[in-house]
Structure formats: structure tokens, C-alpha cells
Chains A and B, each alone.
Chain A
Amino acid sequence: MGKILTIAGKELRGYFVSPMGYVVLAFYLGVSGLIFALTITAPQAEAEMGGMFHTMVFIALMMAPVITMGLLAQEQATGSIEMLMTNPVRDVEVVLGKYFGAMALFVIVLVATLIFPVMLQVFGDPGPDWAAVFSGYLGVLLTGMAFVAVGLFASALVANQIASAVLSYVILLFFWLIGWLAYAAGERIGDVARYVSILENFQDFARGIIDSRPVIFFVSLTFFALFLAVRSLENKRTI
């Protein structure tokens, strides 16, 4: 565990000695803040976050590949992975360390967005339904976990940062857009599409419903992507 935290700490620190952490933070807060401002100033706007959570998940999709692209790709490109992996650390410790480092940045960003429901509480009458806010945030967090894991897998797979980012966009957009099939395709394919669609799985959280199925979906997607990342790292050295 100590080694995982060492690696996670290094990554988190790395975000904030480079512009990356600040850019991501500014981008996320800027875009979601703009949407937030537009929604609450609309006529007859209610003090609720339902629509906001969809926006936040989409921005998370845009952001996750950016924060994960360098994690392992850069180590492979510069060769620093050799120094890292010849230390007595397991591949899984490296992957988890990198993962927690990126997730820490994501959580910092999410915590910063708590300003939105707080403003609703202060200025709204009545204030927001905090149970729904909680479920929405849980949803964003779970989706983010899966996004970051997919991004990390892409970063393990290719040694080029840009290629890694593009690859994770392709994977994530696949899971995002497949939701459309749910309505366009026939019943059988549509059902399958609905099960693996990020949007469909996220829907309930935004409505304030915590169902076990989407939780299991995002957690298993996370584990599967992390497992593939470990495998890919092992495989890199076996070739």
C-alpha cells in the first residue's frame, strides 16, 4: 500500500507542478459553471442539479483521457519506466498508484463543483434535494472512475500520449454513443446496448435513484479496464 501511495502522490504532485492540474480544474469549473449559470437563470428555473450532472459526466468524458494520457505512455516514451519497474514494485501496484493519482485529481475537481449545490442552498427557495445531489455526485464519481480506468488502460497500451488520448476517446465515445442503438436498433440489440451504455446507466443517478445495476456496471468496467492495464504493462515487457 505504501508503494501505491508513493506513486499516487508523485502523480498528483505532477499535475500541480505542471499546468495540467490547473488547466483541467479551470476547464471543468469554467464549462460546468457556464452551463450552471445558464440553467439557473432560465425562466422558472428550479433549484435542482439533475441536468447539471449530465453536463458534468460529459465534461468528465472530455477530461479523463487528458489527465490519464501521460500516466504510463510518457514513462514508456521517455524510458523512465525502466527505472520505475526495476524497483521492487508489482505491475499492479504501479497501475493502482497511477490510477489513484489521477482519481485524486478528479475528486479535487468534483469537490470544487460542490459550490453549485451550495449556491442553490443559499439562494434557492426551496434549496436542492440533497439526497438527489448525493446520488448525482455518486453517479459522476462512479462514471469518472470508469473513465479514468479506461484512459489508464489506453495509456498502458500505447507509448504515445496523443495516440493514447485518442484511443481512450474512441473507447469512451463508443460506450457513450452505443446508447443511441438502444432506440434505433431492434429489441434484442437495443437491450444489450442499453446495458452497456454509459448514458443509460447514468440516467438513474441524475434522477436521484441509486440502483445496484449501474453501480455494478461502472465498478466492473473500472476493474476490467485496470486489469487490462496491468496485463498490457506485463505484456509490454514480455515481447
Chain B
Amino acid sequence: MIRCEGLTKYYGNHQAIADVTLNVAEGEIVGFLGPNAAGKTTTMRILTSFIPPSGGRAEVAGHDVVTDSLNSRRAIGYLPETSSLYRDMRITEFLRFCAGLRGMGRAETKERMDYVLDTCGLQNREESIIGTLSLGYRQRVGLAQALLHDPPVLILDEPTVGLDPNQIIEVRNLIKSLADRHTVMLSTHILPEAQMTCQRVIIINHGRIIAEDTPEALSSQIREAETLLITLASPGENVERQLLDLPEVVSVRPTSGGSYHLDTAVGTDIRAQIAEFVVKHGWGLLELRPVEMTLEDVFRQLTTEEEGVE
């Protein structure tokens, strides 16, 4: 449903995306993952014909986004990153305005409006003025607008940004429930979010796609090591050496104030042994916990690997 080939975009001399090639099949939910300024929004803006690419081509639902953009735009429901809505409009007025821009008839508008207000949890707020709504509700209005014309393709730029944890769960469930009727491409910089909602994840960094796989495959590929953090009250001499002598410990990196990062083999949990070991040496164990791999680490790892290959 979505196809990009060698998509490139320059802003002046700055290359925002380089040679982005991707495919999203019908009915798929694909997560577009990357840190800020990685090129996610640029790619999505090209797909929605908001900006033209500098090179390469893109198709949505079989329509070129540059030469046949009216038709490609018809097929898309788009939630922009900062869903700037008209603040002085009521929700119903805004949705009716969107329906007008989509050329929807009166009966269809009414039916779809009831549906999206219900789906996005806006039933009792439909007469509220958008400017008075909280960020979470505005995000729902943006989502309602994207769903209004029942588009085959949904492009959602950071759909859960600015929502509270309960709303995030609601929105994620909503997106999952859309999968059977829509093709969804959503961007996020939150790794667990992509893992939870998407069947496939495309990772982009510095404007280049650096990995593309199912969330499970990606995380096992990324997790070459488990990392533990320990903090000691009175580390003796040669702590690092002695910790390294433990069979499962791959490397020891001292951080600050008596803390150490221990990399251990994948799939092992040696916290019990470590605790026992530290106590035996009388180092005074203050803290011992597994370190979650942050997205930063993932990107660092993926990008350095990529450079290593080249």
C-alpha cells in the first residue's frame, strides 16, 4: 500500500533523508522508529504530499504522491506530528469542515462522524471548542479527523505524544483494532511502543533506514548482552578484575561513585551470584539492577554496526 524508492530530501544543503526505500503491505501495522530529527516526519510529509521529495519516488495505494497526489491524498488519513487544529472551532464543526474537504455527502458525514466520535472517545465533548481541550483530547480530535473518511491507509506521526499513560494505552488499542481494515504506518521514538503495537518495525537514523524487522527479531538482534548495574559502598582493590573472573561476565565498566556496569551473556541472570560474590568480599552492596537498553543505546549500537560493515 505504501512504497518508497530511494526517497531523498534536502532542506537547503541539509540532507533530511537519504535513499529511503520501504514497503508497507496491505493490512500491516508498521512502526517507524527513530530518535528526534531522524527523518520520520520528513518521510511522512512526503508520503502525504505536504512536501515534494528531492529525489526518488513514493506511492500510496498505487498513486504517485507527486504526480497523482489528489488520489494518493484521498487514500490517506494523516495525523500530523503537532496536530495543529483550528482552535476556535467546535469539534463537530471541525469534523464537518474536514468532511467538506474530502467531498463527503451529508448522510455519509453524519454516519462517519458518529463513528469517529465514538471510536475516539469524544461523544460527550463534541460541542467543545478545540482550543479549550487538553492535549490528549486534541490528539483524539486529530485521530478522529484522520479516520473520518475511512481511508485505506493511515499515517500517524507520533500518535501517543502528549498523552497520559491511560490514554496511551487507549490509543494503542485503538490503533491495533484498526489493523484489520486499514494499513497503518506510525512513527514513534519509544521502542516499547513500537514493540507493542506494530507487526514490523523500520528503524531510521540520520535520514537512513538502518534496520527493518519484526520487533522480536530486532530486539534479540540488538540484545547481544544484558547489562547489570551494581553500586558498592567500599569497593576493594582489583574489583574489576575479580568481577571479570566470574564466568558469565563479559565486561566491566566503572561509572561514577562506586558503580559498575557489567555486561553479561545474553539470556543469563546472574544477579544472585553477583550478590553472593559481593557480600563474600565485603564490598557492601548498595544497588543491583538490570539496565534496560535505552533507545539511545539501540541506535548507537545499530549505527556503529552499520559503519563497521561499511
Contact = CB atoms under 8 A, between A and B. Distances in A.
A212 interface: no
Interface stretch (A36-44, A83-91, A220-228): A83-91
A78 B131 CA distance: 12
A82 B100 contact: no
Interface string B187-227: 00000000000000000000000000000000000000000
B97 A10 contact: yes
Nearest to A238: B52
A14 interface: yes
Given A83-B83, A83-B84, A6 B76 contact: no
Interface string A1-41: 01101110110011001100000000000000000000000
A18 B88 contact: yes
Contact of A86 (B52, B71, B78, B85): B78
Q: Which bracket fits the contact residues of A?
A: 20 to 34
A51 interface: no
Q: Which of B11, B71, B89 has the most CB of A within 10 A?
A: B89
Contacts of A80: 84-86
Interface in B72-96: 73-74, 76, 78, 80, 82-89, 93
Interface in B41-88: 45, 48-52, 70-71, 73-74, 76, 78, 80, 82-88
The A interface is mostly helix, strand or loop, or mixed, namely helix
A237 interface: yes
Nearest to B96: A6
B65 to A, nearest CB: 10
B74 to A, nearest CB: 5
Contact of B45 (A2, A9, A82): A82
B103 interface: yes
Contact of A82 (B52, B71, B80, B89): B80
Given A6-B97, A78-B84, A79-B82, A86 B48 contact: yes
Q: Which of B82, B84, B98, B102 has the most CB of A within 10 A?
A: B84
Given A6-B97, A10-B97, A88-B74, A237 B84 contact: no
Q: Which of B71, B100, B103 has the most CB of A within 10 A?
A: B100
Interface in A77-129: 78-80, 82-90
Contact of A237 (B51, B83, B97): B51
A18 B86 CA distance: 12
Given A85-B50, A237-B52, A79 B80 contact: yes
B145 to A, nearest CB: 7
Given A88-B73, A88-B74, A237-B50, A83 B102 contact: no
Contact of A83 (B71, B85, B88, B93): B85
B101 A82 contact: no
B263 to A, nearest CB: 44
Nearest to B78: A86
B49 A79 contact: no
Contacts of B78: 83, 86
Interface of B: 11, 45, 48-52, 70-71, 73-74, 76, 78, 80, 82-89, 93, 97-98, 100-103, 142, 145
9 contacts: A14-B88, A79-B84, A80-B85, A80-B86, A82-B45, A82-B50, A85-B50, A86-B50, A86-B76
Given A13-B93, A18-B88, A88-B103, 17 more contacts: A2-B100, A3-B100, A5-B100, A6-B97, A6-B101, A10-B89, A14-B88, A79-B80, A80-B85, A82-B80, A86-B49, A86-B73, A87-B102, A88-B71, A88-B102, A90-B70, A238-B52
